[in-house]
Amino acid sequence: MDPFRQKLCIWAGPVSLACFLIGMSFTGFALPMSSELRPEEVVAFYQQHRTGIRIAAIFSLFCSGLMMMFAAAISAQLQRIEGRTTPWVFVQLMGGVMGNVPFALTGIIWTVAAFRPDRSPEVTQAINDLAWFVLEMPAPTAAIQFLAIICVVLGDDSKDPVFPKWVAYLNILVAIAFLPGVAGGLLVHCKSMDWNGAIAYWVPGLASASWIVLMFVALRRAARHSHRQPLA
């Protein structure tokens, strides 16, 4: 594998995280908002942060694309373990894509909500509701990506494994942390399950950030040792 292309995809992970944080800074980190806001309050929010939300949406699109590159870097290393013909490598890659497409769609929906702030408040509220359901409910698709990583890493019995076993345990914990996002869509009126609640938003969000940082460390290590273990 070409070292430059490996590094490009591996570094896409932390750059994606930086894009997310920069994008949210343009809204004053006011997102996500509570689901309990009245339609008029939702419209007022979009009017107040109209430009910031548009900029944040652009950064979310870059964030989504970069995370797909990061998923490709993971698949490249998993293939060293599994060989050329394996379903798990493709499951991980497709899970990485499907887990990030909703993030890109959310940015587009935010832009739609902010595009015409003079429309009916109920319509803007419905668009805003859609954005948060699209962002939080597809958590199982991301969990499938983690499942592929777990199975491949735990199945690597070589003397010089590509990934240490803690990578599998990390993905188990993150997969569990992601699942409350689904409950957030069903139990949104419970305060901790609200879109900006601790369980439905902050736990998956912090788990995702931690996953990017720690997987980046593991990928850097795997890439440095790639010349020692040829493709199976």
Residue % of the chain over a pLDDT of 70: 88
Distances (CA, A) of 79 to 84, 91, 126, 228: 6, 12, 43, 15
| pLDDT tens column, 17-38 | 999 899 888 887 677 787 788 9
Question: Average pLDDT, stretch 100-115?
Answer: 89
Mean pLDDT computed over every residue of the chain: 86
Residue % of the chain over a pLDDT of 90: 44
DSSP states along 101-160? HHHHHHHHHHHHHHH-TTS-HHHHHHHHHHHHHHHHTTHHHHHHHHHHHHHHHHT---SS
| pLDDT tens column, 55-72 | 989 999 999 999 999 999
Question: Average pLDDT, stretch 103-117?
Answer: 88
Could you tell me the pTM of the whole model?
A: 0.86
Dihedral-angle region of residue 182 (phi above 0 means left; psi in -120 to 50 means alpha; beta otherwise): alpha
Number of domains observed in the structure of the chain: 1
pLDDT at 188 over 80: no
Domain region containing 147 = 3-228
In the prediction, which pLDDT does 24 show? 86
In the prediction, which pLDDT does 232 show? 45
Question: Average pLDDT, stretch 74-94?
Answer: 89
3-state SS, residue 229: coil
Dihedral-angle region of residue 231 (phi above 0 means left; psi in -120 to 50 means alpha; beta otherwise): beta
Q: What contacts 98, CB < 8 A, 6 or more positions away?
A: 138, 141, 142, 144, 145
| pLDDT tens column, 152-173 | 999 998 888 999 999 999 999 9
Nearest-CA neighbor of 77 among 146, 6, 141, 145? 6
Task: Tell me if the bond preceding 117 is cis, omega within 30° of 0.
Answer: no
Question: Residue 1 gets which letter from DSSP?
Answer: -
Question: Average pLDDT, stretch 179-190?
Answer: 62
